[in-house]
Chains A and B, each alone.
Chain A
Amino acid sequence: MAEEQKTVQTVEQSTGLSPDEENRMRERRELLQKIGSGVFASLLMSPLMATPIKEALTAPDTTQKLTSLPEVPEGQPDEDPIIRMVRDLKRALQKPMEERKWSMVIDLRKCVGCHACTVGCIAENKLPPGVVYRPVLEEEIGTFPHVARRFIPRPCMQCEEPPCTTVCPVNATWKRKDGIVEIDYDQCIGCRYCITACPYSARTFDTGHYYTEDAPSQPAGYLGSADARVYETAPNYDYGQERPRVDEQSPIGNARKCHFCVHRLEKGMLPECVVTCIGRATFFGDANDPESLVSELIPQPNVMRLKEEMGTKPKVHYLM
Chain B
Amino acid sequence: MVHEKQYWKQVFWMATILAFGFGLLGFFDRMANGHLHADYGSYVPWGLWVAGYIYLIGLSAGAFLMSALVYVFRIEAFEKIGRLALLTALATLIGALLCIWFDLGHMGRAWRLVARTNFGSVMGWMAWLYGSYFVLLLFEFRFATRAELTAHHSVRTTSPLVQKLVGFDPTQPEAHPVEKDLKVLRILGSVGIPLAIAFHGSVGAIFGSVGARPYWNSGLTPIIFLVGAATSGGALLALVTAVFGIRTQREQDRRIVYLIGRLVLVLLAMDVLLEWSEMSIGLWSSLPSESESIRLVLFGHFWWVFWFVHVGFGILVPGLLLLFKPRSLTAVALAGLLITVTFISVRLNIVIPALAVPELEGLRYAFTGPGLKFDYFPSLMEWQLFLFTISLSAMVFLAGIQWLPVVDYSVENPGSEGGK
A interface list, Cβ under 8 A from B: 118, 129-132, 135-139, 152, 154, 163, 166-172, 187-193, 195-201, 203-209, 247-248, 250, 252-255, 306, 310
Contacts and interface: CB of A to CB of B under 8 A. Distances in A.
A169 B41 CA distance: 20
A247 B106 CA distance: 12
A139 B360 CA distance: 10
A167 B105 CA distance: 16
Interface of A, secondary structure class, is loop
Contact of A132 (B118, B361, B372): B372
A78 to B, nearest CB: 33
B320 interface: no
Interface residues of B, number: 50
Interface in B15-72: 33-36, 38, 40-43, 45-46
Contacts of B103: 191
A190 B362 CA distance: 26
B212 A191 contact: no
Interface in B93-133: 103-106, 109-110, 112-113, 116-118, 120-124, 126-127
B121 A167 contact: yes
Given A130-B370, A135-B366, A169-B126, 8 more contacts: A139-B361, A169-B121, A170-B113, A172-B116, A204-B371, A205-B35, A252-B34, A252-B105
8 contacts: A132-B369, A154-B366, A191-B105, A201-B360, A203-B42, A205-B45, A207-B41, A253-B34
B213 interface: yes
A208 B34 contact: yes
B173 interface: no
Contacts of B127: 169
Interface in B154-200: none
User: Which of B105, B209, B358 has the most chain A CB within a 10 Å cutoff?
Assistant: B105
B361 A137 contact: yes
Contacts of A171: 116-118
A224 to B, nearest CB: 21
B34 A207 contact: yes
B42 A131 contact: yes
B256 to A, nearest CB: 40
A187 B105 CA distance: 11
Given A137-B360, A201-B358, A195 B42 contact: yes
Contacts of B324: none
Contacts of B370: 129-130, 207, 209
B221 to A, nearest CB: 13
B206 interface: yes
A254 B105 contact: yes
B116 A196 contact: no
A204 B42 contact: yes
Given A205-B371, A248-B34, A198 B41 contact: no
Closest 4 CB pairs of A and B: A190-B105, A253-B105, A137-B362, A204-B42
B104 A170 contact: no
A130 B103 CA distance: 17
A189 B34 contact: no
Interface of B, secondary structure class, is loop
B210 A167 contact: yes
A87 B253 CA distance: 84
A237 to B, nearest CB: 21
B112 A189 contact: yes
B374 to A, nearest CB: 10
A319 B65 CA distance: 56
B210 A169 contact: no
A308 B355 CA distance: 21
A132 B113 CA distance: 27
B284 interface: no
Contact of A138 (B45, B106, B120, B365): B365
B359 interface: yes
Nearest to B366: A135
Nearest to A132: B367
B314 to A, nearest CB: 25
B372 A250 contact: no
B363 interface: yes
A93 to B, nearest CB: 31
B162 to A, nearest CB: 35
A139 B362 contact: yes
Contacts of A199: 211-212, 359
Contacts of A170: 109, 112-113, 116-118, 124
B209 to A, nearest CB: 8
A257 to B, nearest CB: 10
Contacts of B33: 208
B139 to A, nearest CB: 26
Given A196-B355, A252-B34, A137 B366 contact: yes
B106 A204 contact: no
A188 to B, nearest CB: 7
A135 B363 contact: yes
A296 to B, nearest CB: 27
User: Which of B36, B116, B212 has the most chain A CB within a 10 Å cutoff?
Assistant: B212
Nearest to B359: A201
Contact of A169 (B40, B42, B113, B358): B113
User: Which of B34, B36, B45 has the most chain A CB within a 10 Å cutoff?
Assistant: B45
A208 B210 CA distance: 27
Contacts of A169: 113, 117-118, 121, 123-124, 126-127
Nearest to A191: B104
B35 to A, nearest CB: 4
Contacts of A136: 366-367
A223 B122 CA distance: 49
B117 to A, nearest CB: 7
Contacts of B206: 193
A168 B35 CA distance: 20
Contact of A205 (B105, B126, B362, B367): B105
A189 B359 contact: no
